[in-house]
Amino acid sequence: MSKKTFFCIDAHTCGNPVRLVAGGIPNLLGKNMSEKRQNFLKEFDWIRKGLMFEPRGHDMMSGSILYPPNDPENDFSILFIETSGCLPMCGHGTIGTVTIAVEEGLITPKIPGKIKMEAPAGIIEIEYQQTEKKVDWVKLTNVKSYLAAEKLTINCQELGELSFDVAYGGNFYAIIDPQENFSGIQDFTASKIIQYSNIIRNRINKKYPNLFIHPENETIRDVSHIMWTGKPINATSSGRNAVFYGDKAIDRSPCGTGTSARMAQLYAKGKLNIGEEFIHESYIGSIFIGKIEKETTINGNLAIIPSIKGWAKIYGYNTIIIDDDDPYAHGFQV
Ligand code: PYC
């Protein structure tokens, strides 16, 4: 019988949860965060399940674990834990984690206001502004993002045939814009979006097997997120999305890796310029400011380096116990 205690600091980034596990974390094997992510999934996934799923978490729960950097040049490394698994990269998770880590003194950046973070998907450069003890905003410069495929089609029971593009921004996103069979997220409830997304994601990965594999890291593969777009709530916003992840989640934030993928898609189609602000609204209307920092290539193909700026707020300290004695020690899903 064993009982494990995890000290967590809970926050939200523009509405989406970030549970930073600051105590009780396991040592991981591997030379970099991509290898350590695989080690965690093999040996310690029960921690993710116990802390993310009900009864200790919920459908949208998402979090992170901080580790020392593998390269001493960097400030720290990060493992993302979610109901959906361990994401290679998470934008809202990064903004929340940096806000918590700075405000709570968990890290001491080599250069105040600047951080170099090792994520499983690559090195992320971060800037943040702090006023007294509070972090006002965090801006992350994300991994190379690119349009992976366009004008694919999939059949969705009630809606009919849908056309979509796939773009990478740290995870692979199927992006569904308004079209004949889909008028936009403004006309759909969150539960309908979740219902359709589950069907579509399974079908996409079956219909297009092995099409979406990161050229530099084959552990990053397949469409994991579905982004539905639609009319923004605010006239000043550039766009609005509902991003589906896990089995039942709609991101409450505008989704950092999703916004990166969206900007890569728009850039490739000549609809967004380098340096132009892309004000992205979430399903609940919260905002990230995205920007294409520069053009680059990945495996000889067009890509961008995007940045995302947003804010997070800490709302609690949470000492959570996972006791083998509890039939729901490792959580459950309904
Ligand atoms: O912000 O990148 C993100 C993200 C991924 C899943 C939920 N949020």
ipTM, interface predicted TM-score of the complex: 0.99
Superfamily of domain 145-299 in the CATH hierarchy: Diaminopimelate Epimerase; Chain A, domain 1 (3.10.310.10)
Residue whose CA lies nearest to ligand 1 atom number 5: 90
**What are residue 20's DSSP bridge partners?**
9, 64
Take residue 57 and report the two structure tokens written for it: 């978490």
Residue 1 has pLDDT above 90, yes or no: no
Nearest to 177 by CA among 241, 222, 236, 225: 241
- pLDDT tier, 157 (very low <50, low <70, confident <90, very high otherwise): confident
- Segment 4-56, tens digit of pLDDT: 999 999 999 999 999 999 999 999 999 999 999 999 999 999 999 999 999 99
Residues of the chain above pLDDT 90, percent: 99
Interacting residues of 250 by C-beta distance below 8 A, sequence separation 6+: 60, 190, 193, 194, 242, 243, 244, 283
Q: What is the Å distance from ligand 1's center to 225 Cα?
A: 9
Give per-residue pLDDT as tens, 53-109. 999 999 999 999 999 999 999 999 999 999 999 999 999 999 999 999 999 999 999
Report CA(326)–ligand 1 centroid distance (Å): 30
Most informative mutation of 13, 78, 171, 284 for ligand 1 (most atoms within 8 A of CB): 171
156 catalytic? Reply is: no
Confirm whether 8 is a catalytic residue.
no
From the candidates 8, 14, 86, 255, give the one annotated as an active-site residue. Answer: 255
Q: What value does the mean pLDDT take over residues 239-264?
A: 97
Crossing angle of the two packed helices 45-52 and 33-43, in degrees rounded to 10: 80
Nearest to 264 by CA among 143, 152, 179: 143
Beta carbons of 148 and 212 less than 8 angstroms apart: yes
Fold of 3-140+313-323: Diaminopimelate Epimerase; Chain A, domain 1 (3.10.310)
Ligand 1 neighbours (beta carbon < 6 A): 62, 87, 90-92, 245, 251, 253, 255-258
Q: Indicate which residue's Cα is closest to atom 8 of ligand 1.
A: 255
Indicate where the chain has its CATH 3.10.310.10 domain(s).
Answer: 3-140+313-323, 145-299
Sign of CA dihedral 197, 198, 204, 207: negative
**In the predicted model, what is the mean pLDDT of the chain?**
97
Q: What is the identity of the amino acid at 226?
A: I
CA–chain centroid gap for 60, Å, is 12
- Residue 218 CA to ligand 1 centre (angstroms): 20
Compute, in angstroms, the gap from residue 259 CA to the centroid of ligand 1.
Answer: 9
